[in-house]
Amino acid sequence: MNARHTLTLACCLLGLMSTSALDAQVMGAAPTDTRDLTAVTAEVSQLTADAQRLEAEASTLGPRRDELRARARQQTRWLYHLTQGAALVLQGGPEMLLDHAARSERVRRLLHRTLRELDTVERRAGSLDGERTRVAHLLDAAQANKRALEATQRAAHALTAQAWAGPSTGPGPAVTVYGGAPAAGMVVESFSASAGHLLFPVAGRAEARRMWREGADGPGVEVRCPGGTPVRAVYPGRVAFADRYGAYGQIVIVDHGEHYYTVSANLGTVRVRVGDELAQGATLGTVGEDASGSLMFFEVRHGSETLDPAPWLGL
């Protein structure tokens, strides 16, 4: 099953597909490249480092090649002069002849070694040109992809801010909440019996308020706290969806059984995968940011129906 089919099934199951025109705009702004912007940024950094390494190597090969060529010319001249002087050496006796032969052999060996090294350098220079061209093309493509993803992300953030602006009645009042640790020894047999006892999505101090997302049939809870704060599973369950979805940004949907689901949206990072079995309090990801600041958005759903999460969280 491909990612697009999985996304469609998950959104139909949970009723996330809004009929509003704004959602259509958001879906139109979804990136065609599904790779995470962080991965593309890392790719650009790696290719930039590769390009710099190849340029540094190329800058040393040129002088080395010139040096070897000059050495080969000098050794060739030495060998030529030794060859030309062979007739005179014959008149000097056996000792002079042996010395001349030894010097000629040393120069011949030095020249042979220089020519081999020069051939190696020239071969590497030729292959290096091809590598530099290949890396340059890959870097151009990665940088273009990164710019496109950044532009899409900016557009998605802007549309997210519009999508979460709420109806004309406006959002509810903010409530300061202090999310604690899971209660030790407390056992709730089912999600349906956990109303009022769900773990708050983040630990520590946060501000929570009801917020209506356009197209949803019920409110969610907007939780404002520092960006990067870990977002937790409020009840044990299995990850049903973990990806980016329109105006919700990066989301994690957890299936708690009995057709109950929780949606944690506008995440900065996602740290789970579809199929992961989670305990209460397990980290789903981190709080992200949009045009209005750092926040995450939380919903409780029963099938496709959006439930008011405030009573479930004890707010």
CA distances 223 to 65, 90, 101, Å, are 64, 100, 90
Q: Would you say residue 105 has pLDDT above 80?
A: yes
In this predicted structure, what is the pLDDT of residue 107? 85
Residues above pLDDT 70, as percent of the chain: 74
The residues pairing with 297 across neighbouring beta strands, listed in sequence order, are: 222, 265
pLDDT 10s digits, 225-250: 999 999 999 999 999 999 988 778 89
Residues 6+ apart with CB under 8 A from 285: 230, 231, 250, 252, 264, 267, 268, 269, 270, 271, 272
Dihedral sign of CA atoms 194, 195, 197, 203 in order? positive
Tell me the whole-structure pTM to 2 decimals. Answer: 0.49
Q: Would you say residue 170 has pLDDT above 60?
A: no
Residues above pLDDT 90, as percent of the chain: 36
CATH architecture of 40-162: Orthogonal Bundle (1.10)
Average pLDDT in the chain:
79
Residues 6+ apart with CB under 8 A from 166: 211, 212, 213, 214
Of the given ranges (180-189, 215-224, 238-247), which has the lowest mean pLDDT? 180-189
Mean pLDDT of 270-280: 94
In this predicted structure, what is the pLDDT of residue 248? 82
pLDDT 10s digits, 29-47: 343 343 467 888 889 999 9
In this predicted structure, what is the pLDDT of residue 172? 61
Q: The CATH number of 166-313 is which of 2.70.70.10, 2.30.110.10, 1.10.3720.10, 3.10.450.50?
A: 2.70.70.10
Closest CA to 240 of 45, 10, 48: 10
Q: What is the identity of the amino acid at 198? A: L
Q: Where are the domains of the chain?
A: 40-162, 166-313
pLDDT 10s digits, 76-90: 888 887 777 665 655
